[in-house]
Amino acid sequence: MLNAFKRTAIAAALVAGTALPALADNPMVGGAAMYENKNIVENAMNSNDHKTLVAAVKAAGLVETLQGEGPFTVFAPTDEAFAALPEGTVDNLLKPENKDALVKVLTCHVVAADAMSMAIEKMIADDGGEHDVPTVGGCTLKATEMDGTIMLTDETGRTANVTIADVKQSNGVIHVIDTVLLPAN
């Protein structure tokens, strides 16, 4: 059943005689509609749950890259995930002198492919329950699945759960996660 927002948006679009841009298929993220015709950065900027991620992407100089053609799969940590890091970690990473470390952390959340959850689940099953996911940052994440939830374990042993999957973008897909993944070094 459609939620009230979607019903209202569909009704408004029908009355106005306009097309409804991908709202019916994409989940809401951070209280905002996510549109398939917008890129990863454009949609993330509208999410109230990804303010820290957007600030980090800007500080790292990755806006232009993530607005590019892609395809990209971004495992997008929420503000709560960043807040769960040890005190001072985010502030330290956002300092200009730590840009390389910030880029490494962020690019360990990006895969150079358009991987929807069904494809990830199939790769996990085909690999006997665990699939290696190489990221553009040089990290290898371990993808597993339990009770319908995809989990990613980083090189330090931290595990993130995909809390919102398959948020389609014009240049890939976002999967919202509840933990910041970290590189081994």
How does DSSP classify residue 29?
B
What are the CB-based long-range contacts (under 8 Å, 24+) for 48-51?
A: 49/78, 49/79, 49/80, 49/176, 50/76, 50/78, 50/79, 51/79
| Residue 12 or 67, more confident | 67
pTM of the model: 0.85
23 pLDDT higher than 60: no
Distance CA(6)–CA(130), nearest Å, equals: 36
Q: Are strands 72-77 and 149-153 parallel, antiparallel or unpaired?
A: unpaired
Helix orientation angle between 99-107 and 51-60, rounded to the nearest 10 degrees? 120
Describe the strand order of the beta sheet including 149-153 as a list of residue ranges. 110-111, 72-77, 172-177, 159-169, 149-153, 140-146, 131-134
- The answer regarding whether domain 50-177 maps to CATH 3.30.70.240 reads no
Instruction: Give residue 6's pLDDT band: very low, low, confident or very high (50, 70, 90).
Output: very low
Query: For 52-66, how does the pLDDT look when each residue is reduced to its tens digit (9 = 90+)?
Result: 999 999 999 999 999
Distance CA(40)–CA(63), nearest Å, equals: 9
Q: Are strands 72-77 and 110-111 parallel, antiparallel or unpaired?
A: antiparallel
Say if residues 106 and 62 touch (Cβ distance below 8 Å). yes
Mean per-residue pLDDT, 141-145: 97
Write out the two tokens for 3. 């939620």
